[in-house]
Amino acid sequence: MKRLINQQPSKAGKWLLGALPFILILLVYVVASNERLAVNPNDKLMPSFEAFGHAIHMMAFEPSKRTGDYLLWADTLASLQRLGIGVGISALISLIVGILIGIIPLMRAGFAPVVTVISLVPPLAILPILFIIFGLGEVAKITLIVLGITPFLIRDVQLRVMALPEELIIKAQTLGASTWQLIVRVILPQILPKLIDAVRLSLGSAWLFLIAAEAISATEGLGYRIFLVRRYLAMDVILPYVVWITLLAFLTDYLLRRLSLYAFPWQQNEGGAK
């Protein structure tokens, strides 16, 4: 028998092992839910799968009686829009600032300390300030996402730029590159896939800030809905929403990874995006 560290699962075994925890969680839920419902058929904490199906049908495939919208899709669209704009702005800012303070020592001396300090401010603590300044509309929510993840992204980009081999920077100069040319022809193309990696890592926080902002002030959105129906202990809506958010997060991550491999084929032998 080989040592445990040298035993590799077969392909089928890998799938089976991967699926096992999910099956176990489902099983535990079904058993517990059945027990509770047997004692009290009106139990709201652990609804049956039938109740889930009903709730999903109502949220996703029937227009709301009050607004006429299909709530799940309206919520999804609103949330994804906020998330997309927020993350997009953050990525753009961090790309520009991160590259500048990563490669230009004068910029680094000027801006790195302030970025470090800003990154230490807990974003949720300044959410009330954002609501006061920007009102309760979209701007405050998007600003929270931007403030929440941009400092992390800037520092990541800066470190990635500084980690580029010195040799490449010198080589570019011996080919006659100016600072600007060095940035657009050497640094930018090498940093873009790393920015995508950093964005993938920051998406978790982005969702956190989005849902926090929606919970406090919104009229639609996935986070808003969850906190709204919480008042009615509507676990049959909350749990499918949570699963849906998880699925969306997984899909965004997957798409970003595919984008990175597709747009930057040169990193395939480099141990880049995995």
Partner 1 sequence: MNNIELKKLWKEYGDNVVLENINLTVKAGEFITLVGASGCGKTTFLKMLLGTEKPSRGQLLLDGDPIRDEPDADRGIVFQRYSVFPHLNVIENVMLGVELGESRLLGRCFGSKRRKVRAQAQEMLELVGLGHVAKQYPTSLSGGMQQRLAIAQALIKQPKVLLLDEPFGALDPGIRSDMHALILDIWQKTGITIFMITHDLTEGFYLGTRLLVFDKHRIDPDNPNRYGASITFDIPVADTRKSTLDDISNTMKQKQETL
Binding site for partner 1 (CB under 8 A): 165, 167-168, 170-178, 180-181, 184-186, 189-190, 264-267, 269-270
Within its chain, how far is the Cα of 141 from the centroid? 15
CB of residue 95 to partner 1, shortest distance in Å: 16
Q: Which is nearer to partner 1, 178 or 246 (CB)?
A: 178
> Least CB distance from residue 159 to partner 1, whole Å?
18
For partner 1, which is the closer residue by CB, 56 or 172?
172
Q: Which is nearer to partner 1, 186 or 235 (CB)?
A: 186
Convert 71-85 to b/e letters by CB count within 10 Å (16 or more is b).
Answer: bbebbbebbeebbee
Q: How far is the CB of 273 from partner 1 (least distance, A)?
A: 13
Q: Which is nearer to partner 1, 22 or 180 (CB)?
A: 180
Residue number with CB closer to partner 1 (8 or 269)? 269
Which pair of tokens denotes residue 39?
């004692």
Output the smallest distance, CB 229 to partner 1, in A: 48
Which residues are CB-neighbours of 100 under 8 A, at least 6 positions away? 107, 111
CB of 184 to partner 1, least distance (A): 6
User: Where is 121: in which H helix or E strand?
Assistant: none
d(CA 190, CA 202): 20
Our measurement of the distance from residue 162's CA atom to the centroid of its chain's CA atoms, rounded to an integer in Å, reads 25
In the complex, the smallest distance separating the C-beta of residue 165 from partner 1, rounded to whole angstroms, is 4
- Report helix angle 235-263 to 49-61, nearest 10: 70
181/219 with CB nearer partner 1:
181
Give CA separation, 121 vs 17, 47, 102, 118, in Å: 41, 40, 22, 5
